[in-house]
């Protein structure tokens, strides 16, 4: 709790984001795509996936399933907006290799399945399987703490912690 300017205690809201995929955690700056590495869409991390299932990294709501199925937008219960962009240049696959398991507007909890992916197809036909996980409403974030690159397990390994303004 922090004291506000008016002497009342104010709650600091924190959101923990766990890995939505199992694999190798990578700094966003190391993603071989300038849109993500230069944080043009926001700050975050990336995962080089080792499994075919993407899960919800926090409790919240699905706000977008892209028509090309290569990305999902989520909003946490506290208002953090997150983009999970599966692979690089995967928009060109026109949905092939992606099976959404949720719909826009659907509520999710940590660990709920969001999408099945065909890693072999993505490896063969896209630029990379590396999956950026980006906070798209960074203007509402007061503080972000990111985990060090390591092997992560979906639904368990914390990768990002944010405090909201």
Active site members: 85
**For residue 91, which phi and psi values (nearest 5 degrees)?**
-60, -30
Beta bridge partners of 152: 23
Q: Please give the torsion angle defined by the CA atoms of residues 115, 120, 122 and 124, in that order, rounded to the nearest 10 degrees.
A: -170
**Quick one: CA dihedral 144, 80, 70, 18, positive or negative?**
positive
**Assigned token pair, 126:** 């896209």
**For residue 8, which phi and psi values (nearest 5 degrees)?**
-85, 150
């Amino acid at each position: 709790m922090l004291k506000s300017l008016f002497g009342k205690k104010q709650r600091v809201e924190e959101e923990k984001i766990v890995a939505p995929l199992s694999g190798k955690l990578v700094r966003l700056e190391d993603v071989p795509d300038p849109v993500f590495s230069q944080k043009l869409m926001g700050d975050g991390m990336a995962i080089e996936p080792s499994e075919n299932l993407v899960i919800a990294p926090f409790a919240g709501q699905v706000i977008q399933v892209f028509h090309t199925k290569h990305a999902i937008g989520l909003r946490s219960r506290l208002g953090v907006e997150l983009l999970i962009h599966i692979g690089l240049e995967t928009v060109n696959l026109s949905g092939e290799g992606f099976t959404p398991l949720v719909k826009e507007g659907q509520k999710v909890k940590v660990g709920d399945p969001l999408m099945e992916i065909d890693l072999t197809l993505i490896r063969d036909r896209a630029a990379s399987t590396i999956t950026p996980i980006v906070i798209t409403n960074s203007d509402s974030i007061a503080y972000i703490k990111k985990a060090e690159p390591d092997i992560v397990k979906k639904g368990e390994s914390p990768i990002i912690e944010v405090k909201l303004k």
